Amino acid sequence: MDLLLSTQDLREVVAAMPVAPLPGRPQGIQGVVLYQGEFLPILAWEDLPGCTIAPGRPVAVAVLRRRLGLPLDRMIGTLSPPPGAWQELELGDPRERWLSGTCRLGGQTLLQVDPDRLIALLHRLREGR
Amino acid sequence: MQARQTLATMKEPQPAHVVQASVNGLFRTTHTLKGMAGMLGFPNFSRAAHRLEDIFDLMRKGRLRSTDSLVETLEAGMMALESGLANLRMGRQEPDDYLHSLRRPLGELEALARPAEGGTQDLTSLLDLPAEMLKTLSEYERTRVTVLLISGMPVHGVTVCLDYGTFDERLRVYSETLGRLGELISTLPMDTPADRDGLAFLLVAACPALEAKDLSALEGELVGIALLADPTRVPAALRNEVPPEPATEEPPPEAPSAAAPPNPPQAQDVEILRLPAQRVEALEVRLMEVGQLRDAASLLLRQAPGNGDGRPAALLGQIESGLLEVQKALLQMRMVKVESLFSRIEPMVRSLSRDMGKPVKLTFLGGDLELERNLLGRFSEPFLHLVRNALDHGLEPPSERAAQGKSESGSLRISAAQRGRNLRFDIRDDGRGFDLERIEARGIQLGLLKAGQVHSPERLHRLTLEPGFSTQERITQISGRGVGMDVVRTEVEALGGEIHLSSEARRGSLIRLSVPLSRAVVSCLKVRCARQTFGIPLVNVGRVQAVKKALHGGDQVDVLGISLPLESLQACLGLPEPSGQRAFVVLGQPGAAARSVQVALGVDEILGRGEVLLRSLPELAHAAGIMGGSAQEDGILWVLDPEAILGLAMDSLMRRVARV
């Protein structure tokens, strides 16, 4: 699954670190790493509705401005999609809860992560809603 | 690289205060580099950083003037460190002297700054202050006094006596005002005059002239201004010994008078410059060091076994324990005892009690606990407001109390206790309690409640915290304080805390505030379960016991003649059930009576005890029963929240009973 992350939402991308698993972890969070002297929660992709990303061995962690780490298998590059490339998700798509839409580029579909929706979803998952 | 960029900007003409801020920043950067390199085992790098740190120290103390050649030498020095760092990253050997190519210009600079007689000039004795007070000035503050006097700037002392409730905010206003007028050198606590209530301070500041009207004093604030040292008293022979101010070789302003001071700095720069106290600087330096070292060392610890690095584990262990010590020291500097909050309350209560004619028996509990200094700063005002409210609205006048059969003296009990990751404060009085009928009527009147519906006491208590609930009457009663209960709630919630109110008519009220601590040093019993390490705060550990027979969740164990239910820690945390455990920890509430809830918590292994630096978990990572974590040599140690674990254990035991 290839994803798009807006650079405006990124604090930085750092090399992957071993994640300390949280006992009785909250849904959506696999554990924490130490980042700048504080604990940074690391997303469990597999817990997100409609997500087909399986737990793997990430090479990097994208640190969002809102202090959430997204484990990444690889980084493809940066791009500026033309306005016409954007598409809404289909109605009822479960990924709507954490994606803002898709971007069609050269026959490839990229999914854009929406950090606000994602964090709101994680809060709801934590509260069991 | 950032340091080099800062140095490059210093080649441009800059106001003296901007140069001073840059030099202070560079001093801290090199100090951090020195510490990090030393801790990570690169002594030559550390030595080189130390040498540059010394140069910046001489500059910030005004003993070296910032010139193009000096800045270029320092730029070359920073480049040498940068390139040395890149070589270290590639695994190359350390050179003996990173600054070898700069040995001549650096030597010249050091010689230039060295006083001829081998000592340093100190003009603080010119200050018209008692000797005990002079002794409290730091080395940096002494240097600033000396430099400023030699540059022709008079040094003034401003004494202020500030109200307990607002002194933090008012002191900041005075400090910023003096910063705008010149340079604030030091803020010293003083004895409060016998005829006044409040806290008194002496602010030592250098500025051309100072009058009371410059200081924006509020009505009723006692402010005094005195000239502490006149620059004309500086012996003429000393005038050239210390360069006046670290500054670029900017042409002097037109036609300056002999004693004309430099232009006052701009307000936005004042914030950077006005941190003269060495404690604050040391705190900042250590903060950076600890943060960076912690990350680097933790990464090394995890990578070492797999990558054939070859560094001895013992060395890494030493770094880890050294880091813990630094972190603990840093934490100590960040923390203040709750006692310091209580000590502000006591005189305020005495004064209000006298003014209102309401005798009060005031008791405190938990003053030994600690909270973060910045938390205290933001927490004090809402807290003091609640105490004032308890006195003003909660406690009845003596005659009314006597008529109800109560003692004429009211009781006000203020306690602090650590509950999980929160510090919990209770303000308890034995007054009239909240008038719930009146609150309900007011709520209906204001449209916040619907008439004809039943409203729970909890809802009605909570209503007093709603914005807009305050009536004109209430505002009048707390006039001059500028805050209402809704503001208190906003402040507490902004700190991530909670406020809870309860009361009983004619029996009294309880206001409970909880604020989270971001970090704390906790003495723990270390145990292992499900191949993970956990810490149980020792204050909650009643007993540790090993048994021969394997125990299972739901068993009863005999502890000193008392039968206690046993639950495994795994079951509490939702981890796979163990096949049997041969050790348990009796978990209870600290200081609670024997009849209070106790549970035997089954664990796989007892590891020992120790102090750990607890970091709280971000909200997204909150896990039931976990108070926070602590980075240890072998990974993260999870510190249990004993109260939550007690609840989880009881829930689990109830489920076991239900299944039978």
Which CATH number goes with the domain that contains A110?
A: 2.40.50.180
- SS3 call for A26: coil
Considering only CB atoms, which chain B residues are within 8 Å of A127?
none
Pick from B287, B303, B570, B620 the residue to mutate for testing the A interface (most A CBs within 10 Å).
B620
First to last CA, chain B: 68
pLDDT at B346 over 80: yes
Query: Residue A7: which residues within 8 A CB-CB, separation 6 or more?
Result: A78
Question: Which of B432, B365, B425 is closest to B394 using CA atoms?
Answer: B432
Is residue A15 within a helix (H) or strand (E), and if so which, with residue range?
Answer: strand A10-15
Show the CA angle centred on residue B444, arms to residues B443 and B449, nearest 5°. 75
- pLDDT of res. B290: 59
Question: Which of B65, B235, B234, B59 is closest to B149 using CA atoms?
Answer: B234
Task: Tell whether A26 lies on the interface with B, counting CB pairs under 8 A.
Answer: yes
Residue B526 β-bridge partners: B535, B608
Cross-chain Cβ contact A17/B638 below 8 Å: no
- Who among B621, B624, B625 is closest to A41 (CB)? B621
Which pLDDT band, with edges at 50, 70 and 90, does B114 fall under?
A: low
pLDDT in tens, A31-89: 999 887 678 999 999 999 998 877 778 999 999 998 899 999 988 888 888 888 888 88
- pLDDT of res. B319: 60
How large is the average pLDDT for residues B81-98?
79
Q: In chain A, whose CA is at the least distance from the CA of B299? A: A17
Query: Residue B216: which residues within 8 A CB-CB, separation 6 or more?
Result: B173, B177
Which pLDDT band, with edges at 50, 70 and 90, does B268 fall under?
A: very low
- pLDDT of res. B262: 39
Distance CA B598, CA B604 (A): 19
> In angstroms, what CA-CA distances link B498 with B418, B436, B493, B559?
14, 21, 6, 37
Mean per-residue pLDDT over chain B, rounded: 77
Which pLDDT band, with edges at 50, 70 and 90, does B248 fall under?
A: very low
- pLDDT of res. B565: 94
- pLDDT of res. B294: 58
To 10 degrees, the CA torsion angle through B144, B150, B152, B158? 40
Considering only CB atoms, which chain B residues are within 8 Å of A38?
615, 618
Considering only CB atoms, which chain A residues are within 8 Å of B629?
20, 32, 39
- pLDDT of res. B573: 94
Considering only CB atoms, which chain A residues are within 8 Å of B290?
37
- B512 sits in the region (left: phi over 0; alpha: psi -120 to 50; else beta) called beta
Considering only CB atoms, which chain A residues are within 8 Å of B621?
22, 25-26, 29, 31-32, 39, 41
Distance CA B621, CA B631 (A): 16
Cross-chain Cβ contact B294/A18 below 8 Å: no
Residue boundaries of the structural domains of chain B: 2-114, 124-245, 337-516, 519-659
* Residue B432 and residue B516 in contact, taking contact as beta carbons nearer than 8 Å: no
**Structural domain that includes position A39:** 3-126
How large is the average pLDDT for residues B641-655?
92
Burial of B72 per CB tally in 10 Å (0-12, 13-18, 19+): middle
Nearest CA distance, B273 vs chain A (angstrom): 26
Q: How many CB pairs under 8 A join A and B?
A: 78
H helix and E strand count, chain A? 1, 10
How large is the average pLDDT for residues B168-194?
83
Distance CA B599, CA B652 (A): 12
pLDDT at B47 over 70: yes
Query: What is B2-114's CATH number, 3.30.365.10, 1.20.120.160, 1.10.340.30, 1.10.10.10?
Result: 1.20.120.160
Fold of B337-516: Heat Shock Protein 90 (3.30.565)
Query: Residue B89: which residues within 8 A CB-CB, separation 6 or more?
Result: none
Burial of B96 per CB tally in 10 Å (0-12, 13-18, 19+): exposed
Nearest CA distance, A107 vs chain B (angstrom): 36
- Structure token pair of residue B532: 């993970």
pLDDT at B247 over 50: no
- Who among A32, A37, A67 is closest to B295 (CB)? A37
Task: Tell whether A29 lies on the interface with B, counting CB pairs under 8 A.
Answer: yes
Which pLDDT band, with edges at 50, 70 and 90, does B352 fall under?
A: confident
Fold of B124-245: Alpha-Beta Plaits (3.30.70)
State the amino acid at position B36 in one-letter form.
M
- Who among A23, A34, A38 is closest to B626 (CB)? A23
Number of structural domains in chain A: 1
Tell me the CATH architecture of domain B519-659: Roll (2.30)
